[in-house]
Amino acid sequence: MAATAQVRPLNVDATIAELKKLYGDRLSTAHAVREQHGKDISFHEAHLPDAVVFAESAEEVQQIVQLCARHKTPIIAFGTGTSLEGHISAPNGGISLDVSRMNKVLAVNEADLDVVVQPGVTRKQLNEYIRATGLFFPIDPGADASLGGMAATRASGTNAVRYGTMRENVLSLKVVLPDGRLITTGRRSRKSAAGYDLTRLYVGSEGTLGIIVEVTLKLYGIPAAISSAMCSFPTIEDAVNTVIMTIQSGVPVARIELADDMQMKAIGMHSKLDLPIASTLWLEFHGSEASVAEQAGMVQARSGVIRMAVL
């Protein structure tokens, strides 16, 4: 693919000079830093930002946004850069605003099953922090992404079957608007129907409507038992029908992932494993010891599974 020429925004040098005065070493124009902030692991062509600035508070995000707005310099928020669709590429140049240093857990409300975090906290950092409480945050998109980035991309993952996606698990956000104003989109209360649902507007807005500087999330009790199963099927239709029947009959499966025979072959070759080359479902069950055994039994009884290994 031919590389497209990148245009430098008109006032970017003035923006960088002002940011340098304010943030010193926390403003970088080094190629390696810009590359890390403009290139993801997807096939999309990378366009580097002109500079990267590391914010440490909501007030700093407001100041940076206001400054960039005054100079009409594009800004791209950056969490951990794990997104896969060219999200962090800077086709019009500008400033990458890295919030990874805003990584404090601000409040854990055990009784209310919620937590307030800064946007740079990653999902693994959060789960490590709250482990002793017996609670956990279940959304798992594979990468150890920042919770601000996960909210911005409305991340899901294999256990969306039981716990939903970021859409169902963000209770409220604090967001810096493109003119630098700070808004709060909701409260911790679960039972609220007042006003516009701004939280849902910002979840999935991919940094285009504002920069998330605080996230309030739902938490869940860590299940007493977790078991998983790998099931092989004669055809892909059998595997899909098993998923449909399992969900329709109310088996509270936590995770489901489907792979066809080609994918199984590729996984086996890559991981040097002797896997059955057949349409396969991986399932994970959460609950008490008795309930996870019962769930596995119910799936097996309702499906055309030819081989089920409970792990």
Ligand X SMILES: Cc1cc2nc3c(=O)[nH]c(=O)nc-3n(C[C@H](O)[C@H](O)[C@H](O)COP(=O)(O)OP(=O)(O)OC[C@H]3O[C@@H](n4cnc5c(N)ncnc54)[C@H](O)[C@@H]3O)c2cc1C
Residues 117-136 binding ligand X (CB under 6 A) are 119
Closer by beta carbon to ligand X, 82 or else 232: 82
Residues 181-220: x/- map of binding to ligand X (CB under 6 A)?
Answer: -------------------------xx---xx--------
Residue 219 CB, shortest distance to ligand X, in Å, is: 19
Q: Which residues contact 97 (CB under 8 A, 6 or more apart)?
A: 53, 55, 61, 64, 65, 75, 76, 77, 78, 211
Counting residues that bind ligand X (by CB under 6 A) gives: 30
* Tokens, residue 136: 């956990």
Question: What type of residue is 279?
Answer: S
Q: Is residue 155 close enough to count as binding ligand X by CB under 6 A?
A: yes
Contact string 19-58 vs ligand X (x = CB under 6 A)? ----------------------------------------
Sheet strands side by side (includes 279-287): 255-259, 279-287, 225-233, 307-310
87 binds ligand X (CB under 6 A): yes
Rule CB under 6 A: choose which of 78, 137, 233, 285 binds ligand X: 78
- Positive or negative, the CA dihedral 291, 295, 300, 302 is positive
DSSP assignments along 259-294, one per residue: E-HHHHHHHHHHHT-----SEEEEEEEEE-HHHHHH
- Give the residue with the Cβ less far from ligand X, 135 or 161: 161
Backbone angles phi, psi at 54, to 5 degrees: -105, 110
Residue 56 backbone dihedrals phi, psi, to 5 degrees:
-120, 0
In angstroms, give the least distance from the CB of 291 to ligand X: 26
Return the residue nearest ligand X (CB atom): 149
Task: Tell the smallest beta-carbon distance from residue 142 to ligand X (Å).
Answer: 3
The angle subtended at Cα 134 by Cα 133 and Cα 138, nearest 5°, is 110
- DSSP symbol at 11: T
Answer yes or no: are the C-beta atoms of 288 and 252 closer than 8 Å: no
- Distance of closest approach, residue 304 Cβ to ligand X, in angstroms: 26
Which of 36, 44, 66, 84 contacts ligand X by CB under 6 A?
84
Helix (H, G, I), strand (E, B) or coil at 3: coil
Least CB distance to ligand X at residue 45 (A): 16
Q: Is 93 in the site for ligand X (CB under 6 A)?
A: no
Nearer to ligand X, 149 or 303 (CB): 149
Which residues here bind ligand X, judged by CB under 6 A? 76-84, 87-88, 99, 119, 141-143, 145-146, 148-150, 152-153, 155-157, 206-207, 211-212
